[in-house]
């Protein structure tokens, strides 16, 4: 038995035919194929080799499949399911934003903020709220604690109070919590809504510029389908992040607006990484009939899935640490708002880059006539294989068969490559 060297993309055995036919345990050198006349058994084995890389490795453990990226997690194949999930999430978030609205901070709506030190056990949120209600005849908009230990304070936000109303509230608080609290310990400040409106206007300008730059970059770097899928993913991230704030009632502050631009950068970064792998896997894929475009894209998702998870964990851990320090130790509300929007955005961005971006890309790509025809040929070929019909081994089979008939029989050692490049004059 002799072997001949196949070209790039040839139907090499790589040890699989030898093991399958029971001709020994040692694998054949990569790129060699049988040069003798094919038997029925060898034909079947060679067909098996051609389709071997289509089957995902589902026999490994969950963590092993996750780490190795063998394509065992079907994401693109179940894209209709993920479309339904994302559609429901979008509908809930949009409905919440329309019906429930947002809880805007004092920087957007304007008003008066009163800060009361809460270092004494007698100063409580319930007590402060009761003093406000008894003094003004109505409850304040929000009463919450910030910081811990010696830095712990109670922040009261209400509609704009004139000087007389503010003095009445400060006197009532000092009287109620005396001697633990004096009038000098309590402070009040008026906040105008102009600054919040200016921040919002600048944020919208920055968002539009960001989207334009991203669209141009992806259109140049990839193609129009990838650009469309990326923008749809960004839209999903913005709407869902805003919807979570509306549903839970998180307060929207200027720090929230600034943080939103940060998480959009993370989202597009993760999406570009996945798309880059998709482009690598689908390069010249129409020249073979082993996988469809959707299957190659699903393999790319699997190959980058562990990386996306690791990136998310590494991003979330410092954000959580920032929230702990900001809320429980320093009492810095701005850091809390910034960390909160980033935490929500990172989680939403990871979900969209895995379960929305690539499935949507495949849907857009399959509208292309060339890709649709290639998918039909791949599925038809598999149907013939399943039915036991003879199938062409590969696009190089005819060339190799002719070469095998013309070449004289030689030993295995003679056919083994030397690693030297053959010179032609």
Query: Exposed (0-12), middle (13-18) or buried (19+): which is 63, by Cβ within 10 Å?
Result: exposed
Rounded Cα gap, residues 275 and 224, in angstroms: 12
Residue 193 neighbours by CB under 8 Å, 6+ apart: 107, 108, 109, 110
Identify the CATH number of the domain in which residue 336 sits. Answer: 1.20.1640.10
Is residue 270 domain-resident?
Answer: yes
Is residue 291 domain-resident?
Answer: yes
Residue that is last in its domain, among 141, 173, 191: 191
Nearest Cα to Cα of residue 365 among 56, 53, 74, 79: 79
Tokens standing for residue 192: 């105008």
Question: What pLDDT score does 223 carry?
Answer: 84
Instruction: Say whether both 199 and 309 belong to one domain.
Output: yes
Rounded Cα gap, residues 119 and 24, in angstroms: 80
Residue that is last in its domain, among 143, 174, 191: 191
Residues 240/348, Cβ–Cβ less than 8 Å: yes
What DSSP assignment string belongs to 242-258? HHHHHHHTPEE-HHHHH
Question: What pLDDT score does 250 carry?
Answer: 80
Instruction: Say whether both 313 and 246 belong to one domain.
Output: yes
Cα-to-chain-centroid distance, residue 282: 20
Instruction: Say whether both 351 and 311 belong to one domain.
Output: yes
Question: What pLDDT score does 23 carry?
Answer: 43
Question: What pLDDT score does 94 carry?
Answer: 94
Q: DSSP alpha helices (H): ranges in 284-368? A: 293-324, 333-352, 358-365
Q: Any idea of the CA torsion for 214, 220, 221, 224, to the nearest 10 degrees?
A: 80
pLDDT in tens, the chain (425 residues): 433 333 333 333 334 444 444 444 444 444 434 444 444 444 444 334 344 444 555 666 666 666 666 656 888 989 999 999 999 999 999 999 999 888 887 777 778 888 888 877 778 888 888 888 888 888 787 787 766 667 678 888 888 888 888 888 888 888 888 887 888 888 888 777 676 677 778 878 887 888 788 778 877 878 889 888 988 998 999 899 989 888 888 878 777 877 888 888 888 888 888 999 998 988 888 888 888 999 899 989 988 888 888 888 998 998 888 777 766 666 555 677 778 888 888 999 999 999 999 999 999 999 999 999 988 888 888 888 878 777 665 444 444 443 444 444 444 444 444 444 445 54
Instruction: Say whether both 8 and 123 belong to one domain.
Output: no
Instruction: Say whether both 405 and 277 belong to one domain.
Output: no
Instruction: Say whether both 238 and 207 belong to one domain.
Output: yes
pTM of the model: 0.68
Q: How do strand 111-117 and strand 153-158 relate by DSSP bridges?
A: antiparallel
Question: What pLDDT score does 82 carry?
Answer: 93
Question: What pLDDT score does 210 carry?
Answer: 81
Nearest Cα to Cα of residue 251 among 326, 177, 336: 336
Instruction: Say whether both 79 and 186 belong to one domain.
Output: no
Is residue 273 domain-resident?
Answer: yes
Question: What pLDDT score does 267 carry?
Answer: 83
Residue 185: give the domain boundaries. 111-191
Residues 19/51, Cβ–Cβ less than 8 Å: no
Nearest Cα to Cα of residue 316 among 335, 351, 340: 340
CA distances from 80 to 282, 362, 390 (A): 22, 11, 34
| Cβ atoms within 10 Å of 34's Cβ, excluding its own | 22
Question: What pLDDT score does 399 carry?
Answer: 43
Query: Exposed (0-12), middle (13-18) or buried (19+): which is 283, by Cβ within 10 Å?
Result: exposed
DSSP E strand stretches across 123-271: 142-146, 153-158, 187-191, 251-252
Residue matched to tokens 């402060």:
128
Is residue 55 domain-resident?
Answer: no
Is residue 44 domain-resident?
Answer: yes
CA distances from 8 to 31, 47, 195, 291 (A): 8, 18, 64, 17
Instruction: Say whether both 318 and 219 belong to one domain.
Output: yes
Tally of domains within the chain: 3
Is residue 382 domain-resident?
Answer: no
Question: What pLDDT score does 351 carry?
Answer: 92
CA distances from 46 to 3, 244, 275, 389 (A): 14, 54, 33, 14
Residue matched to tokens 């065992």:
72
Instruction: Say whether both 85 and 124 belong to one domain.
Output: no
Instruction: Say whether both 303 and 347 belong to one domain.
Output: yes
Instruction: Say whether both 275 and 344 belong to one domain.
Output: yes
Residues 214/232, Cβ–Cβ less than 8 Å: no
3-state secondary structure of 239: helix
Is residue 378 domain-resident?
Answer: no
Is residue 129 domain-resident?
Answer: yes
Q: How do strand 251-252 and strand 3-5 relate by DSSP bridges?
A: unpaired
Q: DSSP alpha helices (H): ranges in 34-151? A: 40-50, 62-68, 79-99, 106-109, 125-136
Instruction: Say whether both 155 and 20 belong to one domain.
Output: no
Question: What pLDDT score does 268 carry?
Answer: 85
Tokens standing for residue 232: 């749809």
Residues 243/97, Cβ–Cβ less than 8 Å: yes
Rounded Cα gap, residues 85 and 308, in angstroms: 20
Residue that is last in its domain, among 172, 191, 210: 191
Rounded Cα gap, residues 394 and 10, in angstroms: 7
């Amino acid at each position: 038995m002799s072997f001949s060297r196949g070209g790039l993309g040839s139907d090499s055995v790589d040890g699989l035919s030898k093991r399958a036919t029971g001709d020994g345990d040692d694998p054949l050198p990569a790129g060699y194929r049988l040069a003798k006349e094919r038997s029925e058994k060898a034909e079947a084995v060679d067909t098996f080799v051609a389709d071997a890389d289509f089957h995902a490795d589902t026999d490994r453990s969950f963590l092993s499949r996750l780490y190795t990226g063998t394509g065992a997690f079907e994401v693109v194949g179940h894209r209709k399911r993920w479309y339904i999930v994302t559609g429901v999430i979008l509908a809930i978030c949009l409905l919440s934003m329309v019906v429930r609205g947002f809880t805007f901070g004092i920087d957007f709506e304007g008003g008066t903020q009163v800060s009361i030190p809460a270092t004494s056990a007698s100063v409580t949120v319930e007590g402060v709220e009761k003093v406000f209600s008894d003094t003004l005849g109505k409850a304040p908009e929000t009463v919450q604690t910030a910081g811990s230990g010696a830095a712990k304070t109670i922040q009261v936000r209400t509609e704009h109070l004139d000087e007389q109303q503010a003095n009445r509230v400060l006197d009532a608080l000092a009287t109620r919590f005396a001697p633990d609290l004096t009038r000098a310990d309590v402070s009040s400040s008026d906040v105008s809504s102009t600054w919040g409106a200016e921040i919002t206007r600048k944020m919208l300008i920055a968002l539009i510029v960001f989207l334009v730059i991203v669209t141009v970059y992806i259109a140049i770097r990839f193609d129009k389908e990838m650009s469309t899928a990326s923008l749809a993913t960004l839209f999903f991230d913005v709407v869902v992040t805003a919807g979570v704030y509306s549903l839970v009632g998180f307060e929207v502050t200027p720090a929230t607006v600034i943080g939103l631009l940060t998480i959009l950068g993370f989202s597009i970064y993760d999406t570009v990484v996945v798309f880059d792998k998709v482009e690598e896997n689908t390069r010249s894929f129409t020249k073979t009939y082993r996988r469809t475009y959707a299957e190659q894209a699903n393999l790319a998702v699997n190959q980058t899935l562990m990386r996306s998870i690791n990136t998310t964990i590494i991003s979330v851990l410092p954000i959580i640490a920032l929230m702990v320090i900001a809320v429980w130790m320093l009492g810095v509300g701005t850091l809390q708002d910034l960390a909160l929007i980033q935490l929500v955005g990172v989680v939403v961005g990871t979900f969209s880059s895995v379960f929305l971006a690539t499935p949507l890309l495949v849907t857009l790509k399959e509208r292309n006539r060339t890709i649709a025809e290639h998918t039909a040929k791949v599925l038809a070929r598999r149907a013939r294989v399943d039915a036991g019909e003879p199938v062409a081994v590969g696009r190089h089979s005819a060339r190799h068969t002719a070469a095998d008939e013309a070449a004289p029989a030689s030993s295995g050692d003679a056919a083994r490559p030397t690693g030297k490049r053959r010179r032609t004059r």
